[in-house]
Amino acid sequence: MCGIVGYIGPRDATPIILSGLQRLEYRGYDSAGIAVLQGGEIAIRRDVGKLSNLMQLVSTEPLNGRIGIGHTRWATHGVPSPHNAHPHISRNGRTVVVHNGIVENFRELRAELEAAGVRFASETDTEVIVHLVQRERDAGHALTEAVRRAVRYLRGAHAIVVLSADDPDRLVAVRIGNAGGVALGLGDGEMFIASDIPAILEHTRRMVFLESRQMATVTRDAYHVQTLDGEPVDAEVHTIAWDPVSAARGEFKHFMQKEIHEQARALTDTLRGRIDFHDGCVVLPDLTITPEHARRLKRIVTVACGTSAYSGLVGKFILEDLTRIPVEVDYGSEYRYRNPILDEDCAVLAITQSGETVDTLAAMEEAREKGATLWSIVNVLGSQAMRVADGYITMQAGPEIGVASTKAFTTSIVDQYLLALYLGQQRGTLSCEQSQAHAEDLARLPDLVGQVLEREAAVEALAAETYHYTNFLYLGRGINYPIALEGALKLKEISYIHAEGYPAGEMKHGPIALIDEHMPVVAIALQDAVYEKMLSQIEQAKSRGGRVIAIATDGDTLIAEKADHVLYVPPVSPLLSPVVSVIPLQLLAYHIAVWRGADVDQPRNLAKSVTVE
């Protein structure tokens, strides 16, 4: 995840910015940079690799200024390199920008700017932002207004900070959607800007958090918040009373809630550097396979446990649809004793957030002994499942602290989508051009997830009405059947309520006998190929007195006539719909557990990583 730090005040900006970026290192990055106003000019230092490389560069080529911005970057568009690292500067050297997020429409914006004579110095999407701002400055607009007008052209979710040599007394920050936060730190004669609280907590505990579609103009003694429509905002000032550990929780009560809300940004990072959103080509730097080997693949076996196994069940739909390779999914704890049938034309894919789950590792060992190609999807870098595999894909979700897995689930689904596109391209059954539509669906996903996260209040209200129940039933069909399993697991593992996920079509073969007014039924009924079937399922549950909670598509008024409660999600492509439909279920489980006073981050009897049988 990218990190942003800005400073304006009487002190030397460089050490403040660099130490702030160090506190954001846990997010992971592959390059870093800093820009400081020095003698009326903007001076920039950027380097690839660890922050220590940038610090080394700054020590040999010092910076000296009282206002500046810094950034740690996960490569998205353009390889990790000094010229692709942020900050990015306008052609006339007067304006500089750092950015989190993806400019989904950067290709057309770049083409338009190039046609107007702008020469780009990088392959990044971010660089279009600084040229758009400069264009508005050249049109005579003051900095704040120029930024406000420039960001109107951007599609996607963004966090942006702008510094201008022509306005040495201010920084301008913008937040659109959920590409990471923008916190203003209020000092005494100095101000700070950061993408996360830990970066600036040592300097001040008084903070203002921008909400989506808000921007701030910050001088050393004051700040002004407004909407992107120019309406002034009376933003609340928070006093952060946390110790460092809880500072890592940010403005959230639990790590689980924070990690649920990090998913929009985490998904952006999962995509970074792997898919070209323009031509659709996928590269997986740590998992390569020759076209000949890809064509030889006859079967994929996914092995995992718990939530990761449910991610594999979703991935089966994606991988089979895009590669036409048969996919089996098995629990690690079962697979390891099955004496499985494998050979060199099979690939075994282990999905494991921790990379240390003993049953999954044992299944990997079984696969290794039988000569299969061994891949893993992991979140913890350096974990055993990463090291023993022939190739791996990292989730790039950032640390997942809450025992209940959330952002690892959604990012591992997207990793499987990337793997499917990559295998299709290597097998020659899916061209980059055919992949462009998929790339567009993936580029939109973080923003769609962010939209659902903004609807948390409705889920919390529903939790307040339902947390007293002792049994729940979750129903889904097709690619959303695994989401019924995952929704039920989330609820039972943190609230201790019995919950069961079931394929909706199977209800009539017995479980429907369970339904009555004491058993809420959660039905995932998006407007997809199985929508009509789910509607009839809801009617059957209602006719037996069941209380139905539907997960439905925005604008679906029919379902509101049938279900007792509806949690809406925006329309999404069918293969990515589980990433969106799971969010309300994560939030429902979380808020029910909070209402029940459960220990959300460390539920009884559970460990974050099950390293023993």
Closer residue to ligand AGP in complex, CB, 183/582: 582
> Is 608 a known active-site residue?
yes
> At residue 3, what is the residue type?
G
Taking contact as CB under 6 A, which single stretch among the options 95-103, 219-227, 354-362, 574-582 is the one that binds ligand AGP? Answer: 354-362
Size of the site for ligand AGP (CB under 6 A): 15
Q: Which of 100, 354, 373, 416 binds ligand AGP (CB under 6 A)?
A: 354
User: Which position's Cβ is nearest ligand AGP?
Assistant: 306
> Is 2 a known active-site residue?
yes
Taking contact as CB under 6 A, which single stretch among the options 123-131, 219-227, 232-240, 398-406 is the one that binds ligand AGP? Answer: 398-406
Q: How far is the CB of 346 from ligand AGP (least distance, A)?
A: 21
Task: Tell me the C-alpha distance between 194 and 22, whole Å.
Answer: 12
In this structure, is the dihedral angle defined by the CA atoms of residues 231, 236, 240 and 246, taken in order, positive or negative? negative
Q: How far is the CB of 307 from ligand AGP (least distance, A)?
A: 3
Please list the residues that pair with 72 across neighbouring strands.
3, 32
Q: Is 403 in the site for ligand AGP (CB under 6 A)?
A: yes
Q: Which of 352, 384, 480, 577 binds ligand AGP (CB under 6 A)?
A: 352
* Residue 356: how many other CB atoms lie within 10 Å: 18
Taking contact as CB under 6 A, which single stretch among the options 105-113, 144-152, 347-355, 416-424 is the one that binds ligand AGP? Answer: 347-355
Q: Which of 84, 164, 268, 357 binds ligand AGP (CB under 6 A)?
A: 357
Query: Can you read off the two tokens belonging to residue 545?
Result: 């007195």
CA-based angle 495:498:502, to the nearest 5? 120
Task: Tell me the C-alpha distance between 420 and 418, whole Å.
Answer: 5
Q: How far is the CB of 321 from ligand AGP (least distance, A)?
A: 24
How does DSSP classify residue 118? P
Q: Is 303 in the site for ligand AGP (CB under 6 A)?
A: no
With tokens 């998913």, the residue in question is 263
Per residue, the 3-state secondary structure of 368-382, as one string, reads HHCCCEEEEEECCCC
Closer residue to ligand AGP in complex, CB, 307/394: 307
Among residues 2, 305, 490, 562, the one annotated as catalytic is 2
Task: Tell me the C-alpha distance between 448 and 395, whole Å.
Answer: 19
> At residue 145, what is the residue type?
E
Say if residues 186 and 176 touch (Cβ distance below 8 Å).
no
Q: Which of 194, 305, 449, 576 binds ligand AGP (CB under 6 A)?
A: 305
Task: Tell me the C-alpha distance between 99 and 88, whole Å.
Answer: 9
Among residues 492, 533, 542, 608, the one annotated as catalytic is 608
Task: Tell me the C-alpha distance between 378 and 350, whole Å.
Answer: 8
Considering only residues 483 to 542 of the shown chain, the ones binding ligand AGP according to CB under 6 A are 493
3-state secondary structure of 585: helix
Q: How far is the CB of 526 from ligand AGP (least distance, A)?
A: 23
Q: How far is the CB of 609 from ligand AGP (least distance, A)?
A: 5
Contacts of 345 (CB under 8 A, 6+ apart): 296, 297, 298, 299
Task: Tell me the C-alpha distance between 362 and 354, whole Å.
Answer: 14
Closer residue to ligand AGP in complex, CB, 247/403: 403
Q: Is 404 in the site for ligand AGP (CB under 6 A)?
A: yes
Contacts of 356 (CB under 8 A, 6+ apart): 380, 383, 384, 385, 609, 611
Closer residue to ligand AGP in complex, CB, 207/404: 404
Q: How far is CA 46 from CA 89, 145, 422, in A?
A: 12, 28, 31
Q: How far is the CB of 448 from ligand AGP (least distance, A)?
A: 22
Binding pattern for the stretch 444-483 against ligand AGP, x by CB under 6 A and - elsewhere: ----------------------------------------
Q: How far is the CB of 402 from ligand AGP (least distance, A)?
A: 8
Taking contact as CB under 6 A, which single stretch among the options 116-124, 186-194, 403-411, 517-525 is the one that binds ligand AGP? Answer: 403-411
Task: Tell me the C-alpha distance between 207 and 204, whole Å.
Answer: 8
Give contact residues for ligand AGP (rule: CB under 6 A).
305-308, 352-354, 357, 360, 403-405, 493, 609-610
Query: Which residues are known to be catalytic?
Result: 2, 608
